[in-house]
Structures are given as structure tokens and as C-alpha cells.
Structure 1
Amino acid sequence: MMRHFSYSPAPARVVFGSGTRHDLAKEVESLGKHRLLLLSTAEQSAQAQEIASVLGSRVVGHFPEAAMHTPVDVTEKAMSLVNALTVDGILSVGGGSTIGLGKAIAIRTDLDQIVLPTTYAGSEMTPILGETNEGLKTTRSDQRIRPEVVIYDVDLTLDLPVAMSISSGLNAIAHAVEALYAHDGNPIISLMAVEGIRALAHGLPGVVRDQRDEESRSSALYGAWLCGMCLGSVAMGLHHKLCHTLGGTFNLPHAETHAVLLPHALAYNQSRLGDTLDGLKGAFGPDVALGLHTFSKSLGAPTTLRELGMPQSGIDQAAKLALAKPYPNPRPLEEGAIRALIGRAWAGEPPLTEE
């Protein structure tokens, strides 16, 4: 018998395809926006300005200082521009850092957001915001955080560096993996999760072979969208808690941290999941956690927290922080076992599933 569940479809509008950035003016017109603030990182400033140029005077300012982990002081600086320019909407072009800044502005102003993702982060599909202040990252969820319009243009991902594509794609897979065993999960999200992981597992090796292969890029971006839907619809567990803890505390790169930790966090829970992971065995083999680790290595993804800059002395601190606030997880949270998990991830050892 199927268990009781509830499912509330997200209200965001999604436009997907190649060349869809050319629909931007139409989407802005539909929202009735006339004074947009363009957001980007410094590295993507020129690309963002080129995309936004079709809007002409509707873009009244550009803030190209989005930063990893959404630092509060950066958001406050952007808010000064929002207020000075009397902005009526936010246009975010980029990956998780830029999208996070747009969300941080939205929760403070309730301004509508239009997002053109250039990575596979998936943040654009969620009502979740993680902000960092004085080395501590906190997360909250609110429907005002979720962007109103997301324009996925496969063309914008063709020049995404292979290394960033891989770490970003594994980050997306992490969203779907944890959705499969979420305490508030449902069969609709599980279907999205398996299909999203399948699409990314198919697309990412093709990206490694040929960075500009459109079929592989399309498959990966489609998968990232579905995985983002999973992240925005159900609760996450140990893996996401660890990533936020490590990223905020040690300033580790977000996507790469997900890539390293995912097989280890899944191995921690795997013995308690029954047939939950059966849909992933075709892609990763009977031991899904170990298969994910092997898949990551085959793509050239980082496999150690050490290479990301985490000090070995931080392992104990991270384990304690991971237990600081209770949250649902298939396997009870045990400090010793979590410390061992982080230690293996720090050293790059294969994931170890509980017997």
C-alpha cells in the first residue's frame, strides 16, 4: 500500500531549450517590470550585460559582486543599490552565488526574480536561502525566496568549464539523492529524482568528452532542473547539513564540497534505505554509494576535502556542528560515525556503508 503523502507543485514558470535567452524581453514584459537590477559575479559580468542588453532602459543597474555562500555584507551592499535605484525586479545571470544573492534580496524586499542559470546548481528552483555571516552559514525556507521565472538556455552552458560542469552536476545529483529518502517525500518527487539523476549520469560523461556537445549539455541541464525541483520540494538530510556546515565554517567551494561528500553521506544512510535506491542501480551498480564515488572519480571530480582546503584539525569541529540542531535523517546521527565519515572524505578513502 502506498504511504500517505502530500504534494504542492511549485508555482515558478520555466522556459527550457536552446536560444531561450531571446525570450527574456517577453518574460519581463509579462511580469510588467520596468526597473530591473542585473546581478552577476565579476567573472560573468560581461556575459550578463550582453544577455540583458535586449532589455535596454529596463535594466537600471548592475551589481557584479555576487559571492560564494551569499555573505550578508555583500547582500547589504546590493540592497543599497536596490533602494537607491527604486528597483522593481531582479535579473540574475549565473550560478549558485548569483542566484543566492537574488534570493537574499527577494526575502528582504519581496521583489520578483527572473533567473538565467549558467550552471547545474538547481538553486533557481527552490525556496531555500543559505546565508553566511561571520563564518556561520544559516539556512531558511520561504516561498518569497523562490524565483518567479527561470529561463534555461542550453547555449549558456556550452562554455561552462568541464571541471565546474562536473562539480555542479554532482551537486545537482545530491539534491535528488536526498529527496529519495526525505521524510516528507512523495512518489512524484521520487520520479523526478530518478529521472534527473539518470539524465545527469548520461550527460556528464559526454561533457567530459566534448565540452560543447549540445546533446550532453541538454541532458545535463534537464537533469539539473529536475534535481533542483527535488531540492525545492522536500527536506534534505545529513548530506546537505554537512555541506552547509563545512562550506560556511571553512569557506570551501560549494559544488565541489557536495561532490566530495555525497558518496560518504549516502553510505552513512544506505543500510537503512531498503529498496529506495533501486532506481539508481542501473547507473551506479548494486552499491550505489560506492558506485557514485567511482563515477565521480571517472569524471575527474575532486574526491578529498583536503584538496578543497579543509584542515584536518577541523574534522572534530565539523562533526559537532553537524549535530548542533536536530533534523530528520534515515539513520540516527552519531557523532563518532559522522566524524569517521568526514575523516574518510577528508582523506579521499572510498565510502563505507554500515554493515
Structure 2
Amino acid sequence: MNPGGAEPDAGNPGFVHETWAARVVFRAGAALTATAEEARRLGLRRLLVLSGERGADTARAVADSLGPACAGLHTGARMHVPVAVADRGVEVARAAGADGCVAVVGGSAIGLGKAIALRTGLPLIAVPSTYAGSEMTPVWGLTEHGAKHTGRDPVVLPRSVVYDPELTLSLPVPLSVTSGINALAHAVEALYAPDGSPLVALMAEEAVRAMADALPAIAAAPDSLPARSRALYGAWLCGACLGATTMGLHHKLCHVLGGTFGLPHAETHTVVLPYALAFNAPAAPRAIAAVGRALGTDDTPGAVRDLGVRLGAPRSLAELGLKEADLPVAAEQVAGQAYANPRPVTAEDALAVLRAAYQGRAPSA
């Protein structure tokens, strides 16, 4: 294990770093100019554009920019990618004769694009307008029978990612904040992942710093293109960290809360992160120190919580609609699944973390 991502030393025998092939285009206005260029570069001629209902207008504009290469627009993406939604997406792609997909706007659309890619092998182009970071990972997720299942497959990794900070200007401040802290969680967990590396650690610390700087600036001036650009830059790095490492307790908690209990994705990550971080702190001092340096604090879990709270984010799972009676059920599910984490997690441990997050009290190790 390489908590904190420090260079190898006597107590740290080494690391393995694997880089996934991905092309990134990052510039203002790129959504309506670079997407068609990326499609041509990939040799794609019949693209199905994907979005949720909330991003339909933006997706339509991107679809129009593709000209005759657009094979259709499907706005059926849903949070946590229910299997029925994925099935429908595959049907639409096949009926359209699509040779590729373009996922536009949020993590739900990208998740649907990945589900289609997993089933069909169709290449995916991502045009994100939130800070979720999923576009930089080979991780897919599907929800069925009240449980969210995830996996890794290089076929779902977008072939090109088009980052256009202008697309994020209309993202409401509350969603900007929770989406940004959702991204932050990817970088934080990468710092204590068992397959971390010095390069991932450098990216993660820079990602935390960039996002923590950007979010207050966005809250103060939502139309600030420099602030939006810095947040999107941070999201790119956060996503790259998640793509290179294994997820731990935080992501497992959020997958259970979202997949089984239907809690909103970004808000759940925002509430849970400080408590998962506090639980892992004794076993991951280098990771805690790295996040603390990026945030300029000696109280890392508290600073992560305060970042969201002072910008108006929800502070407890109770606020998100979780019932106290659901906590033991969620804890058993979390403890019953295998995943990498700096500390072993019993059902009692998971319940303690969930209870603290449910109450929204100050996090403590």
C-alpha cells in the first residue's frame, strides 16, 4: 500500500502505474466545435447523442453541430443507470444504426453511454458539463433490484473527452458545489488506494487544491469563466485519479446509498466524504497530510465538511431523505462486499460512519 502516494522508501516497496489511453480537448467553446472534429478523427459517421432531460437543450445543440453525422438524440439517461434504462439505450443505438455515442452534460448521460459501450462495443465521446469526473475512468455502474453494481472495462472509457468550461456556466451553484466535492472524493480516495503511485498522488493533491479554490469563487461569481475553468480542470484530474486507482469505503458507501436507497449522487458524496475520510485517517496519515496541504488545514475531515457546508451544501444524510431505520441495512450491505480500504470495515464500523453522516455532526477519527 502507498498511502499518500509518497515516493518509494524503506517502508514502501514500490508501485505499479497504469495509464489508460484517453484524448482530452479542453477549451472554451469546444463542445460545438471540437466534438464533430473528434468524431471525424475517430472515423465515426452515425453518432447517437445521449443526455438526460435536464441537459436536453445542450445535447440538441451538440447534435446539431454534428450535422449529418448525428444519427439521433436520446434523452433517456437517469441517475445510477437502471438496467431498464441501459436496455432502452442499447435498443435506440441499434435502431439508429449508430457507430458511436456522444454523452452530453452530466454523469448520468456518461453512465448510460458507458452501459451502451459495455453491451455493444460502440466508441464513446464524452462532453461533460458537471464535475463528476466519470468521463476519465473505465468504471461502469448499473442499478438493478435495488443494488448498484460496478466494474471496470477499458471498452467503456471514452475515446475522446471534450471539456468546455462554457457549458458549466449554467450549472446552478448548489449542484456545482456538490458535483465538485463528488469529484474531490475521487482524488481523496486515490491518495490511499492500494494501487496508488507518485504520479497519481501529485495529480490528486493538485486536483484537491484546484477544486477547493474554484468552488468558493463559483459561489461568489457563478458566471466567472476562469473559476469554471479551474473547477473543470480539477474535475479532469480527479477523474483521472479515480480511473487509475481502486475505490474504497467512501465510494462503496455512496454506491449503496444511491443504488439501494435512491439518494442523489453528488449530494450523497458531499455528505459522506468527511466521515469516510475521518474513519480512514488513522491508517492513511500521508493521504490525510496531502489533502490537508491542498486545503491549508490541520483538520482535514473537518475542512472537507466545512467546504461544502459554508457553500450551502447539505450536511447530513437525514437531509437527503434517508431514514434512520435504513442505516443498519446499509451498513450490512457495505460490510458484506469486498473492496480495498486502508482499514478493515465491519458492519459496526460502517454503521458508525453512516450514523455520523446521518446526524451531520463534526467528523472525528
| TM-score of Structure 1 vs Structure 2, range by shorter chain | over 0.9
Secondary structure, in 3 states, of the residue corresponding to 2:361?
A: coil
Q: Specify which of 8, 33, 36 is matched with residue 47 of structure 2.
A: 36
1:73 aligns with 2:89: no
1:9 aligns with 2:34: no
1:339 aligns with 2:338: no
Q: Specify which of 107, 122, 125 is matched with residue 111 of structure 1.
A: 122
CA–CA distance in 2 between the matches of 1:294 and 1:45?
A: 33
Structure 1 residue identity aligned to 2:298: P
Residue by residue, what CA displacement relative to the aligned partner does 1:12-55 show, whole Å, maximum 9, x if unpaired? 10001211121122111111111110101112111111122121
Q: Give the direction of change, closer, same or farther, for the CA distance of 1:343–1:96 in structure 2 (3 Å limit).
A: same
TM-score under structure 1 normalisation?
Answer: 0.97
Task: Indicate the residue corresponding to 2:252 in structure 1.
Answer: 241
Secondary structure, in 3 states, of the residue corresponding to 1:299?
A: coil
Structure 2 residue identity aligned to 1:134: H
CA–CA distance in 2 between the matches of 1:271 and 1:94?
A: 38
Structure 1 residue identity aligned to 2:87: E
Task: Indicate the residue corresponding to 1:229 in structure 2.
Answer: 240
5+ long unaligned stretches in structure 1: none
CA–CA distance in 2 between the matches of 1:20 and 1:332?
A: 44
Residue by residue, what CA displacement relative to the aligned partner does 1:242-297 show, whole Å, maximum 9, x if unpaired? 00011101000001000000000000000111233222223151120111111211
Structure 2 residue identity aligned to 1:80: E
TM-score under structure 2 normalisation?
Answer: 0.95
Q: Specify which of 41, 45, 61 is matched with residue 50 of structure 1.
A: 61
CA–CA distance in 2 between the matches of 1:276 and 1:85?
A: 47
Relative contact order, CA 8 A, sep 6+: which one is greater? 2
CA–CA distance in 2 between the matches of 1:275 and 1:188?
A: 15
1:294 aligns with 2:294: no
CA–CA distance in 2 between the matches of 1:79 and 1:25?
A: 22
Structure 1 residue identity aligned to 2:304: L
Task: Indicate the residue corresponding to 2:362 in structure 1.
Answer: 350
Task: Indicate the residue corresponding to 1:201 in structure 2.
Answer: 212
What is the CA RMSD across the aligned residues, in angstroms?
A: 1.0
Secondary structure, in 3 states, of the residue corresponding to 1:252?
A: coil
Identity of aligned residues (%): 45
Task: Indicate the residue corresponding to 1:317 in structure 2.
Answer: 329
Task: Indicate the residue corresponding to 1:92 in structure 2.
Answer: 103
Structure 1 residue identity aligned to 2:347: E
CA–CA distance in 2 between the matches of 1:43 and 1:275?
A: 40
CA–CA distance in 1 between the matches of 2:90 and 2:250?
A: 32
CA–CA distance in 2 between the matches of 1:19 and 1:83?
A: 30
Structure 1 residue identity aligned to 2:261: F
165-174 or 269-278, larger mean C-alpha shift: 269-278
Contact 1:284 1:295 in 2 (8 A): no
Secondary structure, in 3 states, of the residue corresponding to 1:318?
A: helix
Q: Specify which of 179, 188, 194 is matched with residue 190 of structure 2.
A: 179
Contact 1:284 1:292 in 2 (8 A): no
Contact 2:22 2:158 in 1 (8 A): yes
Structure 2 residue identity aligned to 1:329: N
Task: Indicate the residue corresponding to 1:306 in structure 2.
Answer: 318
* Superposition pairs of residues 209-224 of structure 1, within 5 angstroms: 209-224=220-235
Aligned residues: 353
